[in-house]
């Protein structure tokens, strides 16, 4: 598909005014305060994977409202000292899958926590193990529209809170150096990692590729691919609810989280991406760290002109590995 968004030279200058509610910080402080009152870990059970160079545990931690959230935690076999941790978030419709699927970060020598997505896992990959007990809230079949007309009840308020709690959980695990923690994700996972960077101010690094939930209003005007299509279909039935929905989405927009982030950041985007349009990614990148007084001076972005949502794939991962090694030196 030809490039459909702004030309690269315009993307590099793309700094739209944030669509941000006045009580954005209050909204998230309330969500995280409730979660922080609970001990993070519920259980940590060893798992036999058949892998000789990696040890893995099935972790359950407390997320939003104390709900149990599943994760895989892995360490390099034979690790003798606490390691920097990578918390990874997965894409829309995916769950944590099987413990031997995502080995890049543990093979690079990091402690690795892979968070499950509550109420997801039935569209791609090898499934998930975390229900969302709050799905009685009205909405369509996909999680992106669950509670869309009510900011306190919106699905992503719960999932982002889970993502923040995953950082707290990994820092509580044996074998982890709690002062060196990175957040990593692609697509929805990139949106979650970016949100974590805006809410966890002592994060060491964040790496996001094709992040979802960025520049929501413009993205919805540009595309009906992927989850944006679910929102469009929902609003085609709920006529007259557009501004109510946009208000809810403004509480989870990655541009607002990016503005508050402090950690060094590594971005990637495909300029032909119709699922997570590059103008949303650049809006977050160009405003990254502007409210925090830090982080914005240590950021980089890699654009792939002839790629769509797949972005740079293995080339992007290669760049991430090199960059993160410089940020979380062993």
Q: What is the pLDDT of residues 145-201, one digit of tens each?
A: 999 999 999 999 999 999 999 999 999 999 999 999 999 999 999 999 999 999 999
Catalytic-role residue among 14, 112, 266, 309: 309
Q: Is the pLDDT of residue 136 over 90?
A: no
Q: CA triplet 316, 322, 325: central angle to 5 degrees?
A: 135
Q: Output the DSSP codes for 53-66.
A: SEEEEEEEEE-GGG
> Kind of pairing, strands 176-186 and 54-62?
unpaired
Residue recorded with tokens 């977050």: 284
pLDDT of residue 41: 87
309 is catalytic: yes
Domain 8-327 CATH superfamily: Alpha/Beta hydrolase fold, catalytic domain (3.40.50.1820)
| Local confidence band at 295 (pLDDT 50, 70, 90 cut-offs) | very low
- Residue 326 designated active-site: no
Report the candidate in 103, 105, 123, 116 with the shortest Cα–Cα distance to residue 58. Answer: 116
Mean of pLDDT values over 62-89: 97
Question: Any catalytic annotation for residue 162?
Answer: no
How confident is the model over 306-320, as a mean pLDDT? Answer: 96
CA atoms within 13 A on the CB side of 74: 28
Given 187, 219, 250, 256, the catalytic residue: 187
Phi and psi of 141, rounded to 5°?
-70, -30
Active site residue: 219, 273, 279, 296, which one? 273
Residues paired with residue 303 on neighbouring β-strands, in sequence order: 269
Strands (E), 19-145: 41-47, 54-62, 68-76, 83-89, 111-115
Q: How many CB atoms are closer than 10 A to CB 198? A: 29
User: Edge-to-edge strand order for the sheet containing 265-270?
Assistant: 41-47, 54-62, 68-76, 111-115, 83-89, 176-186, 205-209, 265-270, 299-304
List the chain domain ranges: 8-327
- At 214-257, the pLDDT tens digits run 999 999 999 999 899 999 999 999 999 999 999 999 999 999 99
Average pLDDT of every residue of the chain: 94
Q: Is the pTM of this model over 0.85?
A: yes
Who contacts 262 (Cβ-Cβ below 8 Å, separation ≥6)? 197, 201, 203, 289, 292, 293, 294, 295
Q: How is residue 166 written in tokens?
A: 């995953």
DSSP H or E segment with residue 226: helix 226-237
Look at strands 265-270 and 299-304 and give their pairing: parallel
């Amino acid at each position: 598909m030809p490039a459909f968004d702004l030309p690269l030279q315009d993307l590099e200058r793309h700094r739209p005014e944030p669509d941000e509610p006045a009580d954005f910080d209050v909204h998230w402080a309330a969500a995280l305060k409730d979660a922080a009152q609970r001990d993070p870990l519920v259980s940590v059970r060893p798992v036999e994977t058949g892998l000789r160079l990696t040890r893995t545990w099935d972790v359950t931690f407390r997320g939003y409202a104390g709900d149990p959230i599943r994760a895989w935690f892995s360490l390099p076999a034979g690790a003798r000292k606490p390691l920097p941790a990578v918390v990874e978030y997965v894409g829309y419709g995916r769950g944590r899958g099987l413990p031997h699927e995502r080995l890049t970060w543990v093979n690079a020598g990091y402690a690795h926590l892979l968070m499950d997505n509550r109420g997801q896992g039935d569209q791609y990959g090898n499934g998930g193990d975390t229900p969302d007990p709050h799905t009685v809230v009205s909405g369509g079949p996909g999680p992106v529209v669950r509670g869309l007309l009510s900011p306190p009840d919106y699905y992503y308020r719960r999932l982002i809170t889970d993502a923040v709690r995953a950082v707290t959980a990994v820092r509580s695990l044996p074998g982890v150096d709690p002062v060196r923690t990175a957040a990593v994700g692609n697509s929805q996972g990139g949106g979650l990692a970016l949100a974590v960077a805006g809410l966890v101010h002592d994060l060491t690094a964040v790496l996001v590729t094709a992040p979802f939930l960025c520049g929501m209003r413009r993205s919805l005007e540009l595309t009906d691919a992927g989850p944006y299509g679910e929102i469009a279909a929902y609003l085609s039935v709920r006529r007259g609810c557009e501004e109510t929905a946009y208000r809810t989405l403004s509480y989870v927009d990655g541009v607002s989280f990016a503005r508050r982030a402090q950690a060094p950041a590594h971005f990637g985007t495909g300029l032909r991406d119709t699922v997570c349009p590059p103008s949303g990614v650049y809006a977050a990148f160009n405003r990254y760290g502007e409210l925090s007084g830090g982080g914005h001076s240590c950021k980089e972005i890699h654009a792939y002109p002839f790629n769509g949502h797949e972005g740079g794939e293995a080339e992007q991962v290669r760049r991430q590995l090199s960059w993160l090694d410089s940020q979380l030196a062993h």
